[in-house]
Amino acid sequence: MSLSHTDKVKLKRDIGISALIYAIPVVVLYVYFQFTGAKPWLLPVSPEHSDLPSFFNFIEPYLKQIQTRGFFAIIIILGILEFSLGLYEKKWTKSEKLVDIVCFVAPIFLLIPFTSFHKFVVLPFVLPGLENYFSWVPFWGAFFLIAIADDLTQYWYHRLHHQVPFLWRFHRTHHSAPYMGMAMASRQNFIYTVFFSQIYVTATLIYLGLGPAALLVGVLKGLITLSAHSSIPWDKPFYKYKILHPVAWVLERVISTPATHHAHHADTLDDGVGNYKGNFGNMFFLWDVIFKTGIITRKYPKSYGIKFYKQEEWYAQFLWPIFKSKKEGSELSKSGPEIGGV
Amino acid sequence: MAISFFRKLSFRFLTISDIKIIGKKIIVGWIVSLIPLIILAGGLFLIIRLLQP
């Protein structure tokens, strides 16, 4: 199975547009320095950021706590609440529980060697002497630069895993569950997770001196993506009350909401709500608006998952193609069909 | 015991096809990472070069 000509043309066009979007913060910074005449890069390279807003110094320790422990706490507390309220009903079988728990716990330990190797070995080797080289970038410039770099990169990583057939099976685990909730946030094949492009983009920009802005972006992004996966329909009041409609209109086009992201996890397109062939945005839904891959209905799908799910074993879902499923006809089995492009 | 455990997990040595697919996936990941990094880091270097007194 391969991409159609139309898909290839659209992909090339969208990649070109993305290159321009990536360049926007750099162009804005150039205009800013041209206009103000400031040349902060002439100051000695330092890990200290002189222009940090005062509020940042106050919230920095809290942001660090949220990024390290807070997100785990949110996932666990909301997950328990969802389970207690019967969200998963009878769909959370022993096999699904195993997949969810392994995908949540194992990467905590397994990812460390990869990210540490990148941080302590690859970056100093590939970019010697450039640590904090861009620490002169103003905080808010760095904030928008990281927000665009991190999230647009993830959009592309995600979109390609849906649209390029040979990549789909690495992302399939995230869509296989017939329910939607906190458990989905970390349910991924490990090879998909370990090569998450935006992790390495952001780590490189942190090494180059954009750390404080990356911390703020990381926390905001984490909160938005977790809430988009959760079963708390915090966006519903915005659709219900007419006075809030203008806010909803902006909100659902800028960031991922539970409605738009749940639609991405739907198991069908036929109801006009589900859109597993789009709604790829993680923090920003804006990318789906720009590239016309998004559908906004303000409704939630009735069912989730994938139609050709075979309830594969946890080890196949977590580590395919290293471990393969024994289920006959499964995409994750040895010589399994490459359905792809979903 | 270890062997039977891995057999139970239906572990097979990675085939050439599996290694190719992982390799292609890594290359896609690198490209997706490198494009923004080149544009952003290159752009910031360019700002310094263009506005150097």
A255 has which bridge partners?
A: A284
Give per-10-residue mean pLDDT for chain A (342 aa). 79 95 97 94 75 88 93 90 81 91 93 94 95 94 97 98 94 95 92 96 96 96 94 93 96 97 94 93 97 96 91 94 91 81 53
For residue A115, what pLDDT is reported? Answer: 93
Q: Is the pLDDT of residue B1 over 70?
A: no
Mean pLDDT of the region B39-49:
96
At A256 the pLDDT is: 97
Chains A & B: contacts with CB separation below 8 Å: 95
pLDDT in the model for residue A2: 67
Of A134, A166, A197, which is closest to B32 when you measure between CB atoms? A197
pLDDT given at position A53: 86
Separation of alpha carbons A283 and A287, rounded Å: 10
Whole-number pLDDT of residue B52: 84
What integer pLDDT is reported at residue A7 of this predicted model?
Answer: 83
Please give the model's pTM, rounded to 2 decimal places: 0.94
pLDDT of residue A282: 95
Mean pLDDT for chain B overall:
86
Chain B closest-CA separation from residue A210 CA (Å): 11
> How many other CB atoms are there within 10 angstroms of residue A328's CB atom?
8
Amino acid identity, position B2: A
Q: Does position B20 have pLDDT exceeding 70, yes or no? A: yes
Q: Write the DSSP string, A280-328.
A: --SSBSHHHHHTT-----S---S-BS-TT-----HHHHHHTTTB-B-ST
- What per-residue confidence (pLDDT) applies to A308? 85
Which of B21, B26, B47 has the CB atom closest to A26's CB atom?
Answer: B47
Strands (E), chain A: none
